[in-house]
Amino acid sequence: MVKRQFIAGATCPGCGAMDRIQRCSDDDSTWMECVACGLVRDLDQPPAAADATDANEQTVTLKPRR
Nearer to Zn ion, 42 or 49 (CB): 42
HSE (side-chain half, CA atoms, 13 Å) at 35: 12
Q: Which is nearer to Zn ion, 38 or 49 (CB)?
A: 38
3-state secondary structure the chain: CCEEEECCCCECCCCCCECCEEEEECCCCEEEEECCCCCEEECCCCCCCCCCCCCCCCCCCCCCCC
Cβ closest to Zn ion, residue 16 vs residue 49: 16
Site string for Zn ion, 1-40 (x = CB under 5 A): -----------x-xx-x----------------x-xx-x-
Q: Which residues bind to Zn ion, rule: CB under 5 A? A: 12, 14-15, 17, 34, 36-37, 39
